[in-house]
Amino acid sequence: MTNYLIGIDGGGTSCRAAVASADGRILGRGKAGAANILTDPETALANIGEAARAAFMEAGLDPQGITAAKAIVGVAGHNVGDAVHYVKRRLPFAAADIESDGLIALQGALGNHDGAVAILGTGSIYILRQGETVSYVGGWGFTIGDHGSGARIGHALLQESLLAFDNIHEASAVTDSVLAEFNNEARDVVDFARLAKPGEFGRYAPRVFEGAAAGDPVAVRILKAAALTVDEALDVVVARGCERLCLLGGLAPLYRPWLADRHQALLVEAEADALTGSVAVAAQRFGTQARAGA
Amino acid sequence: MTNYLIGIDGGGTSCRAAVASADGRILGRGKAGAANILTDPETALANIGEAARAAFMEAGLDPQGITAAKAIVGVAGHNVGDAVHYVKRRLPFAAADIESDGLIALQGALGNHDGAVAILGTGSIYILRQGETVSYVGGWGFTIGDHGSGARIGHALLQESLLAFDNIHEASAVTDSVLAEFNNEARDVVDFARLAKPGEFGRYAPRVFEGAAAGDPVAVRILKAAALTVDEALDVVVARGCERLCLLGGLAPLYRPWLADRHQALLVEAEADALTGSVAVAAQRFGTQARAGA
């Protein structure tokens, strides 16, 4: 009987799966709904199974074969202990490990090279791999971390809009546009912000990048402060020996021109995506593919 | 029949009342539990009545007399429309207006002078009175405003502690003390912060003032940034013509030495407290006391 491998890239809006041969060659891909193991583990389990069966079907394989396969499941919230244990015991595979979405993204982006990824999306986190050692810098979520993230940039824009409303800070085209969206009612901005989730703040981040590109002084100030937090975190991974750096996440292409010159020379393009990364980890752990030296 | 006046200073932990003669002379005081009209209007109504009856009893008056009296009720959340209407209709007085806790604090602090108060506690807000015109600057709450407040200062300290944990920013005695309190587990800091209310962040603010006084570099940096936000807001009230400025709230005495020289010359001590202010507003509105010119 053939030993198939499964890679899962689970996210808050969708879950992707790939089935591969024991040497890591991808045979088929599938997709299903959200896989958030922290907030909705039952739905996550259902969608992980469905995406895996879809991948088997695309590969021309019997979808019931997933129960004999070994899988790497990359998900956000992997480090929240109880949810991981609960989900891991119930996964419909012969064997499986749950890994962070960041680690499988790093494996995809850097392949078997040492180096670091800066994941710059709604949140922000930095992951460094040196040989067998993986270390995390930053992250910690919107409330008290994720500096430079889209959520923090959007939050900063709303905050500057209120400061402009009060004439405490200068107004500009971007703060005017935010206030106009809320009918120039500061109270409406506050009511929105009080209930907004990180993703809702993050939807204002592109406006800051666009405004900064057009020279809007408030947008430039917000973005320089955000880019400084990214550069400071990158300094830490570089100090730990990182010589290869890949920017990932929705803000990665927007951020690149704003980062310090000292980091530009280290930047590389991603080799592959997180789904490919999850298959590669599966092949190293359960298959016949050894991880090459760095 | 004598027309008595009632002043109420309602807060999130207790509610104080004073009964006064029609010319505003205070005859007795009373106290009861919390009066938060936004989160618990029924309890607020009960405690406002209880505090008023206690004031009548201290004055040697029949507590049933409160139903014939006219009152000014100063409360936080006065500008949240529905709660104000609901509570106002149910107050046990012959007539009553609900005013912001800030406005009665201003009346108490400045008496009948024009000028502004900076209320620097768990939150922060600036209130300027010029003749009959009252204007508010800042405030807007912890999520997106209240710059320079105790909650924001405490939040900044927790944030800097995580940045120190990651070696992104320098560590110091104050960040070490925070991390030690959380057993040097960044995850524990995050778990606390995720659920913390503004008052819980605010409990870390005194540590920043103490650290800054002792020269702790991180505390000095946090406090200089916070004092800058206060100075910027004070610049706005000064630009609007304020020549008399009173710092109120728990952080007021701590902040004073950190504010810009240009504001030091405008600072005055509070003439009286918010309860006295609520009685004065009641005397102006319902009694025989006209508000003197500024």
Neighbours of B63 (CB within 10 A): 18
Q: What angle do CA B97, B73, B40 make, to 5 degrees?
A: 110
Any B CB within 8 A of A151 CB:
no
Per-domain residue ranges for chain B?
5-111+271-286, 150-264
Instruction: Find the closest chain B residue to A167 by CA distance.
Output: B236
- Interface probe for B, chosen from A78, A82, A100, A168 (most Cβ of B below 10 Å), is A168
- Chunked mean pLDDT (size 10), chain B, 294 residues: 87 91 95 87 94 97 96 79 83 94 94 95 93 92 94 98 97 98 95 92 97 98 98 97 94 96 96 96 86 47
Cβ separation B168–A143 shorter than 8 A? no
Inter-axis angle of helices B186-195 and B173-181, nearest 10: 80
CB-CB neighbors (< 8 A) of A164 in chain B? none
Residue B26, min C-alpha distance to chain A (Å): 36
Instruction: Find the closest chain A residue to B232 by CA distance.
Output: A168
Residues B118, A149 contacting (CB under 8 angstroms): no
CB-CB neighbors (< 8 A) of B155 in chain A? 144
Residue whose entry in the numeric block shows the structure tokens 């078997």: A112
Residue A248, min C-alpha distance to chain B (Å): 20
CB-CB neighbors (< 8 A) of A166 in chain B? 137-138, 233, 236
Residue A30, min C-alpha distance to chain B (Å): 34
Q: pLDDT at position A185, please? A: 94
Pairing of strands A245-248, A115-120: parallel
Question: Tokens at residue A8, please?
Answer: 């899962």
Model confidence band, residue A290 (pLDDT cutoffs 50, 70, 90): low
Nearest to A186 by CA among A217, A165, A200, A164: A165
Any A CB within 8 A of B137 CB:
yes
Cβ separation B143–A190 shorter than 8 A? yes
Any B CB within 8 A of A245 CB:
no
Neighbours of A195 (CB within 10 A): 8
Q: Do B150-264 and B5-111+271-286 have the same topology in CATH?
A: yes
Q: pLDDT at position A203, please? A: 95
Cβ separation A140–B169 shorter than 8 A? no
Q: pLDDT at position A2, please? A: 66
Sequence letter at residue A58: E
Any A CB within 8 A of B135 CB:
no
Residues B245, B237 contacting (CB under 8 angstroms): yes
Residue A113, min C-alpha distance to chain B (Å): 23
Q: pLDDT at position A291, please? A: 59
> How confident is the model over A164-203, as pLDDT tens digits?
999 999 999 999 999 999 999 999 999 999 999 999 999 9
**Which CA distances in Å does A17 have to A33, A226, B44?**
11, 34, 55
Q: pLDDT at position A12, please? A: 77
ipTM: 0.89
Instruction: Find the closest chain B residue to A240 by CA distance.
Output: B167
Q: pLDDT at position B184, please? A: 96
CB-CB neighbors (< 8 A) of B193 in chain A? 143-144
Model confidence band, residue A293 (pLDDT cutoffs 50, 70, 90): very low
> How confident is the model over A6-43, as pLDDT tens digits?
999 998 788 999 999 999 999 999 999 988 887 788 99
Residues B95, B71 contacting (CB under 8 angstroms): yes
How is domain B150-264 classified at the CATH fold level?
Answer: Nucleotidyltransferase; domain 5 (3.30.420)
* Rg of chain A over all Cα atoms, to the nearest angstrom: 21
Where does residue B43 rank: exposed (0-12), middle (13-18), buried (19+ CB within 10 A)? middle
Residue A80 has pLDDT above 80, yes or no: no
CB-CB neighbors (< 8 A) of B163 in chain A? 147
Q: Calculate mean pLDDT across residues A220-240.
A: 97
Residue B8, min C-alpha distance to chain A (Å): 26
Between residues A72 and B39, the one the model is more confident about? A72
The CATH number assigned to the domain with range A5-111+271-286 reads 3.30.420.40
Any B CB within 8 A of A290 CB:
no
Q: pLDDT at position A182, please? A: 97
* Alpha helices by DSSP H, chain A: 41-58, 81-90, 101-110, 150-165, 173-181, 186-195, 198-202, 205-213, 217-239, 252-255, 261-264, 274-286
Q: Alpha-carbon distance A100 to A110, whole Å?
A: 16
Cβ separation B159–A144 shorter than 8 A? yes
CB-CB neighbors (< 8 A) of A145 in chain B? 159, 162, 190
Interface of B with A in 155-214 (CB under 8 A): 155, 158-159, 162-163, 166-169, 186, 189-190, 193-194
Instruction: Find the closest chain A residue to B79 by CA distance.
Output: A187
Provide the percentage of residues in chain A whose pLDDT is more than 90. 83
Q: Which of B138, B141, B169 sits opposite A166 (nearest CB)?
A: B138
Cβ separation A166–B141 shorter than 8 A? no
